[in-house]
Amino acid sequence: MPESTAPCPECGHDARRIPTETVRNMVEPFENQTIEDDAQYRICKTQDCPVVYFADELDQRFETDAIRERPNFKLESDADPYPLCYCFGYDKSHVREDVAENGETNIAEWITERVQSEECACRWKSPLGGCCLANVREAIDEAKTEAAD
């Protein structure tokens, strides 16, 4: 069954559901007190839209300036730092440095081991509300391509 989406009230792009606890943990103090347990929150990943989370039924929006962590999906790909893994603190510069020095990196494998050991807290630490490994692997491929050029 496909995941239910709804349009972002600002940009109109599809926004998927996100766990309420992710929103509560990502939104700055005091603003997070307005989050309703029974509301359905959504995430807008459109880069140039200021809205990160919203709940239509409450006419509630949380924009990038109200988010504790820099949502990587709202940043330009060359932003520095460009966060990749919010649980363990890796960003694109770590991946680039490791690939430049060693021709390879084990960051994705190391994170995978931590996830399998249940040491991650993606639902609470990542603005995406989930695992970052796809972003990490994409950054590794990008760094390898850059190193080969």
Query: What pLDDT sits at residue 1?
Result: 37
d(CA 38, CA 141): 40
Query: What pLDDT sits at residue 149?
Result: 82
Q: Which of the pair, 42 or 1, is modelled with greater confidence?
A: 42
Query: What pLDDT sits at residue 74?
Result: 97
CA 79 to chain centre: 14
Phi-psi region of 71 (alpha: psi -120 to 50; beta: other; left: phi over 0): beta
CA atoms 75, 80, 85, 89: torsion sign = negative
pTM over 0.85: yes
Q: What is the mean pLDDT of residues 115-139?
A: 94
CB 6 within 8 A of CB 14: yes
CATH number, domain 5-66: 2.20.25.270
